[in-house]
Amino acid sequence: MKNRWADKDAAAIIESCRKAGVNEDVALRVYTSRLIGVEPELVIHGGGNTSVKTQMKDFLGVEQSVICVKGSGWDLATIEAPGLPALLLHPLHAVRQRETLSDEDMVRFQRLNLLDPSSPNPSVETLLHAFLPHKFVDHTHATAILALSDQKNGLEICRKAFGARVAIVPYVMAGFQLAKKTAAAFEADPDVVGILLEKHGLFTFGDTAKQSYDRMIELVTLAETAIEAAPKWTPKPIATKNAATPADVIPVIRGACAEMREDGAHQRLIADFRTSEQILGFVNGETLGDYGARGVVTPDHIIRTKNHYLITDFPAAGAIDEFQKSVKRAIDTYRADYDRYFKDNNARLGGTKTKLDSAPRVALIPGVGLIGMGVSAKEAMIAADLAEITIDTVIKAERVGAFDPLPPADLFDMEYWSLEQAKLGQAKPKPLAGQVAVVTGGGGTIGAATAALFAANGAEVALLDRDADAASRAAAEIGKTAFAVQCDLTDEVSVKSAFDAVARRFGGVDILVSNAGAAWESMIADMDDALLRKSFEINFFAHQRAAQAAVAIMKRQGTGGALLFNVSKQAVNPGENFGAYGLPKATTLFLVRQYALECGKDGIRANAVNADRIRSGLLTDEMIAKRSKARGVSETAYTRSNLLQREVTAEDVAQAFLHHALALKTTGDVTTVDGGNVAAMMR
């Protein structure tokens, strides 16, 4: 493994920290923590932790011996000094005399000794860091270390690889007892430069940041060398010719994984798709059901991925119906196994635990790849990253011997740890969490406002627009996971590829906001056919094409969905010169009702919003100026010429769409958002 230490970089961090009033010890701690954090073969997604023992002034200005240790919520790759909260060291040493200390008391005791009570919770491995005498301590879950340790004879293999340089502590869950055992292991053998925790990870330590980091890299390299010396392991592949596309396959799995909530709504998960030569080599193996089903490589993963991944059959192109049936069977078995695992282990612990959902978080799909799943795109991404690291680790472990992870009981204790259980139910999920919304015309005023509101309510949003830049700008304003897709809704191929892209990105589609439109003015009696046809293309056929594409995915998911159409006041209340706009919009209103009629049995709802006089690409500020002048009224009077005498905005329209996305028992409805206009009232 590459040693990334550079004197120049270390000096630069010391200098910038000095300016911020951070001492050199902490500066170097920040530096090597980041060096560890950027290496996915050492730690990923908040895994691992580091510490430094130093001197700091307390609230009264008295110099104190402290330990600065990684705080929860921080990632080593991007850590800064506030991510290393300082705790008084002497009380931490004193607590070692106790026989036992519950996890809750340990957390309280750690908080009690924080120099700054507003700091994040220090790592649950803080006492382990504190009990070791070294100034710098580093801890990782390195892939190469796990590959050697996750074996039946892992202790023997590790002893052979590291010799006298490392002490080994047999598996104990993180907490007070592990801290005591690790400190005792060091004291029994003070010449070691690292301590390996069986099937968990590695600690190294030293007098300087560089020494501790160097030792981490050195020991991981030793493990890598041992793996390299073993013959390559490639599982015998099954035949995977003519696999179905990811866009066809993923919605099937995602839909089958959704759980029905008590209120009758589906709790869906977002999916993050991955494929690569290494992933395919792994998932295509004939004996995937064996090596791919043994469990997680380190207990740290279990909260994100559950112990077992779902393994599907091979999905052949043109046989999606059969695949759907086989996935249903696989999920039923998965849930039953998970429920049994919970029941057995909960009974062992006196029935005190609150059950988590039974849905898998990773699915391995022969011939296609893998998906990570979670309630948000971010959670799904983390699950997928951990699955990729797991595949890498298992391949290495199989080279060395046979991958043998911790038994389920140990992993249950981690998954149902009291500190994790205490977090349950604390954060109320957002109303659209786990749902994917596609918004057409997403780069326009109403589309962007709707996508932003849906994202704020927990949905993952895809913004489709003919103007790729406009879609990207709107997506960038919403946030990291908002997905911009260039799409010409008048072109069938473009629509298909846009919806495929959304299925690959988020796993499917649950809500369509069919919003894109365009208006042309002309008297109906003189209207050119070509103009009318052009208007029908975007104001009717585009809605139909988008709805068809969305319904195809929704049916594959089998969890219902919502089709929301931006119709227009014109659909029921014609305006002079606006025939080219009103005619297709009236047809689209009919379309809404046709979808409501035919898709109700699939749980797919279809509803419309009739809006009027919204400042947008269709009614620009210049148009408002021109029209108000023509009518001899002020611009304000023009935009407020409704019963409520208030201007109606794109955000108001977005609220109406949100209402329909959540109104689970409403279909075939039209909501008017125009401030009140008797002539446009539905009748």
Closer to Zn ion by CB, 48 or 560: give it: 48
Closer to Zn ion by CB, 45 or 660: give it: 45
Find all residues with CB under 8 Å of 630, minimum gap 6, and list them. none
Amino acid at 401: G
Q: Which positions from 114 through 153 interact with Zn ion, judged by CB under 5 A?
A: none
CB of 221 within 8 A of CB of 202?
no
Closer to Zn ion by CB, 41 or 510: give it: 41
> From the CB of 223, what's the least distance to Zn ion, in Å?
16
Find all residues with CB under 8 Å of 643, minimum gap 6, and list them. 675, 676, 677, 678
Which residues does the annotation mark as catalytic?
A: 581
Closer to Zn ion by CB, 83 or 246: give it: 83
Closer to Zn ion by CB, 84 or 446: give it: 84
CB of 368 within 8 A of CB of 315?
yes
Tokens standing for 252? 């099937």
Residue at shortest CB range from Zn ion: 201
Binding mask 151-170 for Zn ion (x = CB under 5 A): --------------------
Among 611, 302, 293, 276, smallest CA distance to 441 is for 611
By the 10 Å C-beta count (0-12 exposed, 13-18 middle, 19+ buried), 510 is classed as buried
Residue 247's CB is within 10 A of a number of other CB atoms, namely: 21
Asked whether position 201 contacts Zn ion by CB under 5 A, the answer is yes
CB of 475 within 8 A of CB of 463?
yes
CB of 84 within 8 A of CB of 26?
yes
Of 201-209, 255-263, 360-368, 631-639, the segment contacting Zn ion by CB under 5 A is 201-209
Helices (H) and strands (E) in the chain, counts: 26, 20
Q: Which positions from 432 through 471 interact with Zn ion, judged by CB under 5 A?
A: none
Radius of gyration of the chain (CA): 30
> From the CB of 331, what's the least distance to Zn ion, in Å?
31
Among 235, 245, 267, smallest CA distance to 365 is for 245
Find all residues with CB under 8 Å of 391, minimum gap 6, and list them. 278, 279, 282, 370
Q: What CA–CA distance (Å, rounded) separates 122 from 110?
A: 7
Owner of token pair 């988020």: 506
> From the CB of 299, what's the least distance to Zn ion, in Å?
8
Asked whether position 194 contacts Zn ion by CB under 5 A, the answer is no
Amino acid at 167: A
> From the CB of 430, what's the least distance to Zn ion, in Å?
31
> From the CB of 124, what's the least distance to Zn ion, in Å?
9
> From the CB of 322, what's the least distance to Zn ion, in Å?
43
Closer to Zn ion by CB, 419 or 501: give it: 419
Binding residues for Zn ion, rule CB under 5 A, total: 1
DSSP per-residue string spanning 410-477: HHHHHHT-HHHHTTTTSSPPPTTTT-EEEEETTTSHHHHHHHHHHHHTT-EEEEEESSHHHHHHHHHH
Closer to Zn ion by CB, 230 or 303: give it: 303
> From the CB of 129, what's the least distance to Zn ion, in Å?
11
Binding site for Zn ion (CB under 5 A): 201
